[in-house]
Amino acid sequence: MSKLSGFPELLPAERNVELYVLDHLRRVFELHGFANVETRAVEPLETLLSKGEIDKEVYTLRRLQATDEESDAGDTLALHYDLTVPIARYVVENANALEFPFRRYQIQKVWRGERPQQGRFREFTQADIDIVGRDTLPFHADVEIAQVMGEALAGLPVPHLTLQISNRKVLEGFYLGLGVADPVAVMRIVDKLDKVPADAVKKMLTDAGLSDDQAHACLALADIRATDTSFVEQVRALGVTHDVLETGLDELASVVGACRPVDGVTVTADLRIARGLDYYTGTVFETRMAGYESLGSICSGGRYDQLAADNRNTYPGTGISLGISRLLVPLLADGLTSDRSVPSAVLIALVDEESRATSTDVAQRLRARGIPTEVAHKAAKFGQQIKQAERRGIPYVWFPPAAGTDGQHSVRDIRSGEQRDADPDSWLPPTTDLTPQIKEPTS
């Protein structure tokens, strides 16, 4: 049977890399006080379609034995294509039981019916963090989201990342200052600059009704980027003024200026970033990975002041989403892996089937102290049992004494060949041997 395109499945050693990433993200998010939630996999189709032009990307659900009446009922369910729309619904439905600002992280599968290609899948895993307020949300939440995700990204076993930050108020205010009648339409066009040459984007702008001077100014703004707040003066040097522009510049400078330097991540203001979805209202984020720029953004998000609301309240929020599958699957294909395919740090050798209970007892004593351990599946020659451990990456083989003797236990590090006496109630391997370790691709 051939593989299903767009539905990645990982081998055990690759899955260990993914688990390492998930555990790291959970630790960072929880250290910053984000609570974990999991929303249902399905939403009403009309809810999903109300949040952007994604109708061709949604998988709908239909029971195999559904009647014609059910099919025409107008209450079609669909698999969620991101985690932002579900959390908006979740907040509204549970507002009376939540404390605001509500800080949540969510790591789940999502589904999109798009054409599979590098970094794009039909089923994939995302990790989101959001801070949601009731009626108001202070701007410092935008700053915190950038800081937390920057810290999370810094601990990942991946190439250098660039966290690009912009603000839609900067773009909107600049376009309004130019006299542009429809700033949102211009944002959508400028947002294509990563995929379309600048000359083609300029033609799109003039075709949309902008003058040559206006189109040139829009491209000049999009060329501005800086790793500090110097972008503010670069924008002002373009000679455009508007109150919304000044508000956006102040907000963007606050975010960029507050992000602490971290290894492996560069934070930069990048004024070509607009994000295509209309619900973003201020700060926006995108992230590129060195050497894998063709993937596009692997971590995106922003501020959304009107995404969630009920008859009494509005729930503004700010958040960012990391595409775990988009990030990892290309790296795994290029050789990123772990040093073993199993969690076991120790294989207990089996002298013969009659002594299996003895080997199992030793395994339990090691497990009781947090050492992942398994017993050999059959009583082969010790050399064969050592090779079994080696094939699976298990670093230690434990040899119990022969049954009916007072002999000493011993343990062998099969990487070095060193073997020494050991007590199952006190022996400990180095901490790095307790869990699978990441192996970088060899050049």
**DSSP per residue over 196-243, as a string?**
S-HHHHHHHHHHTT--HHHHHHHHHHHT-EESSTTHHHHHHTTT---H
Confidence grade of residue 123 (pLDDT, cut at 50, 70, 90): very high
When pLDDT is averaged across residues 149-174 and rounded to a whole number, the result is 95
Q: CB burial class (10 A; 0-12, 13-18, 19+) of residue 406?
A: exposed
Does 281 appear as a known binding residue?
no
Q: How confident is the model at residue 46 (pLDDT cuts 50, 70, 90)?
A: confident
C-alpha span between 356 and 360 (Å, rounded): 6
pLDDT at 395: 97
| Angstrom distance (rounded) from CA 76 to CA 190 | 35
For residue 112, say whether it is annotated as part of any ligand binding site: yes
pLDDT tops 60 at residue 9: yes
Domains in the chain, ordered, with CATH?
Answer: 1-144+323-338 (3.30.930.10), 160-290 (3.30.930.10), 346-439 (3.40.50.800)
For residue 400, which of 359, 372, 365 has the smallest C-alpha distance? 359
Confidence of residue 195 (pLDDT cuts 50, 70, 90): confident
At 397-428, the pLDDT tens digits run 999 987 656 789 999 999 999 999 999 999 99
Q: Is 287 annotated as a binding residue?
A: no
**Is 275 within any annotated ligand binding site?**
yes
Average pLDDT of span 105-130: 92
82 is in an annotated binding site: yes
Q: What's the pLDDT score for residue 117?
A: 81
Is 126 annotated as belonging to a binding site?
A: yes
What average pLDDT does this structure show over 306-335? 94
Please write the tens of the pLDDT for every residue from 331-347: 999 999 999 999 999 99
User: Is pLDDT at 7 greater than 90 in this prediction?
Assistant: yes
pTM over 0.85: yes
Q: Is 280 annotated as a binding residue?
A: yes
